Amino acid sequence: MRMGRRLGLLLLAFAAAWGSPALAYDRAQIAAQACFGAAGLSEAAATLTAGAASATSEDAAWAATLTGALLDKTIRCGAGASTIESPSGSVDAATLAKAAPADGPAPVLSLKNRPLVETARAAATLFAGATAGERAAALRALERRAASLPPDLFETAAAREPDAGLKEQILGVGQSALLNSPDVAKRIAAIERIAAQPSRRAETQIAALKRDPAYGKEAAFAAAVDAGLTSIDRWLRVSSVANTLYNGLSFASILFMAAVGLAIIFGLMGVINLAQGEFIMLGAYVTYAVQEALRAVAPGLLEWYLILAIPVVFLVVAAVGVALEATLVRRLYTRPLMTLLATWAVSLLIVNLVRVGVGTQNLQFVTPSWLAGGKLLVGDFIVTWNRLFAIVFAGVTLVATWAVLKRTRLGLNIRAVTQNRAMAGCIGVPTRRVDMMAFGLGSGLAGLAGLALCPIYNVNPQMGSNFVIDSFMVVVLGGVGTLAGTVVAALGVGQINVLIEPLYGAVAAKVIVLLMIVGFLQWRPEGLYAVKGRRK
């Protein structure tokens, strides 16, 4: 009789595993089985796992309780019904109604049975877990054993899952499970579905199937694997190019902001400010000061320090620029090369003042939550928010600068003095004041470049020198005093840098950029966009 019952149970378990009969658990039987030695326990776990997908939510909750009790050893087996000790007293293991505790010990989980019971609990929790966190943890537990689980388990769970992100994850795991389904058609479908979401992980998953026996036997399966691999590989290549271009774009954005001030000032006054790199550094340091001030005064606003710092940085660095112009540059206007040396001395001064005053270590910036992470677009191509911030910021700066140059009186004056200083002076443009304002504008923009690179690059007293030569190259390449030239040249130099870097290294990239610029100047000595005027 006992034998017969066990046989029947086994059959039932098998039936449950192979088909998926939409029937509720026979709770009493399963609870009894759990107390029926190692074999019974594994049958009970198999039944619960197999039935998880078709169980009602009540049953799922019960299954989670029972398996939890088995794992926590709070179940009591006895001659009669087994019971579970819960915080509110002991309950019947089958009905969860109040009951007198059974008199026996908890069943011992063998090494083989423990994972089975854990899987059964995870399967039940995936359906009955109260919070998304619990369900996600259950999914992670199931992921390792996805191959041995009934394929419809994940599909059903995903269909019922309210949390969109988790739903995606459940579907993904389900497809991995289907990869090993006995049905070849399902496997091929799963391969196609996985290949549709290309990533390094998908690639290794599908590449592993090449060692599958079916790869040699089933032509259709082999073809699906190969096609999947080809498609993933293509997408990964696309995404790596996209990554490179994206990084180049963010570098170019910083470069543009660093160079646009130089270009305006150079076009206007014919002088180069060698302290431009230090203005970038000052911008980053002022950003840090704003962050620390907020931390001390208004911790609630710390999240938004990058935005709040924008006007502060611009005004402070612009003021430094105006001061530099008024004290030094203005007095050397007939000697642009002396200006070069004098501004270099200023840069030396700023670097060493910062070094002595603040220290040489890298500054620690808080990453606001809205800048952390990014979005996976395709394959391995992640749009990181910090780089996107720099790109958008540069775009906004570009528009604002363009508006200032084209739509304001100051911009009109700047353009007039750039074209013909003497004539502009004759008709009453205050050229000296325009110089000062333009110097302030250019310096402020460099400061903003410093702000934009805080979330991306290291900030320390020496950082300016990393950007200064590149931004000069942009000015030389783009032509002086033109916004369009600066944009195009910054994009060019930025992209060339990141395109060559992975192939030959950063140094080679710099060498090639320099050689290209020297070669380019043979062809267009005035830069890309020369301001029309008399050749001097």
Partner 1 sequence: MMAPKRSLLARAADDRMVVAVALALAATAAVVVVGGLSGYRVNTIGQLACFALLALALDLIWGYAGILSLGHGLFFAVGGYVVGMHLLERSVAETGVTPDIVQFMGWKALPGWWGPLESFPVALAAAMGVSFAVAFVFGWASFRSRVSGVYFAIITQALVYVAMLLMFRNDTGFGGNNGMTGFQVVFGVPIQDPAVTKGLAVASVLALLAALVGCRLLMIGRFGRLLVATRDDEVRLRSLGYETLRLKLKVWCLSAVLAALAGLLYVPQVGIINPRVLSPELSIEIAVWCAIGGRGRLAGAIIGAVLVNAVKFALSASLPELWPFVLAALVIVVALIFPNGLLDLGKWKPTLLSRARALEPRDATP
Interacting residues with partner 1 (CB under 8 A): 266, 270-272, 274, 328, 331-332, 334-342, 344-346, 348-349, 351-352, 356, 465, 469, 472-473, 475-476, 505-507, 510-511, 514, 517-519, 521-522, 525, 536
Shortest distance in whole angstroms from residue 304 CB to partner 1: 37
Closest to partner 1 by CB, 89 vs 505, is 505
Closest to partner 1 by CB, 151 vs 481, is 481
Distances (CA, A) of 202 to 32, 185, 239, 417: 42, 19, 14, 60
Shortest distance in whole angstroms from residue 328 CB to partner 1: 7
Closest to partner 1 by CB, 154 vs 266, is 266
Shortest distance in whole angstroms from residue 408 CB to partner 1: 27
Closest to partner 1 by CB, 351 vs 371, is 351
Closest to partner 1 by CB, 219 vs 503, is 503
Contact 386, 371 (CB under 8 A): yes
CB atoms within 10 A of CB 105: 12
Contact 149, 142 (CB under 8 A): yes
Contact 456, 494 (CB under 8 A): no
Q: What are phi and psi of 458, to 5 degrees?
A: -70, 140
Helix extents (H) in 35-131:
37-51, 57-72, 113-128
Distances (CA, A) of 233 to 197, 200, 212, 230, 251: 11, 9, 20, 5, 27
Alpha-carbon torsion (48, 54, 57, 58), positive or negative: negative
Closest to partner 1 by CB, 78 vs 336, is 336
Shortest distance in whole angstroms from residue 533 CB to partner 1: 12
Q: What is the rounded CA–CA span in Å between residue 186 and residue 174?
A: 12
Shortest distance in whole angstroms from residue 516 CB to partner 1: 12
Closest to partner 1 by CB, 220 vs 507, is 507
Shortest distance in whole angstroms from residue 337 CB to partner 1: 5
Task: Check residue 372 and give left, alpha or beta (phi > 0: left; psi -120 to 50: alpha).
Answer: beta
CA nearest neighbour of 133 among 107, 109, 169: 169
Contact 274, 443 (CB under 8 A): no
Q: Which two tokens stand for residue 186?
A: 């399902």
Closest to partner 1 by CB, 274 vs 398, is 274
Shortest distance in whole angstroms from residue 491 CB to partner 1: 19
- DSSP codes joined into one string, 282-330: HHHHHHHHHHHHHHHH-GGGGGGHHHHHHHHHHHHHHHHHHHHHHHTGG
- DSSP codes joined into one string, 195-228: HTS--HHHHHHHHHGGGSHHHHH-HHHHHHHHHH
Q: State the angle between helix axes of 385-407 and 409-419 in degrees (0 to 180), rounded to the nearest 10.
A: 80
Shortest distance in whole angstroms from residue 469 CB to partner 1: 5
Closest to partner 1 by CB, 178 vs 517, is 517
Shortest distance in whole angstroms from residue 157 CB to partner 1: 55
Closest to partner 1 by CB, 68 vs 270, is 270
What dihedral angle (degrees, nearest 10) is formed by the CA atoms of 123, 129, 134, 137? 10
Shortest distance in whole angstroms from residue 272 CB to partner 1: 5
Contact 478, 485 (CB under 8 A): yes
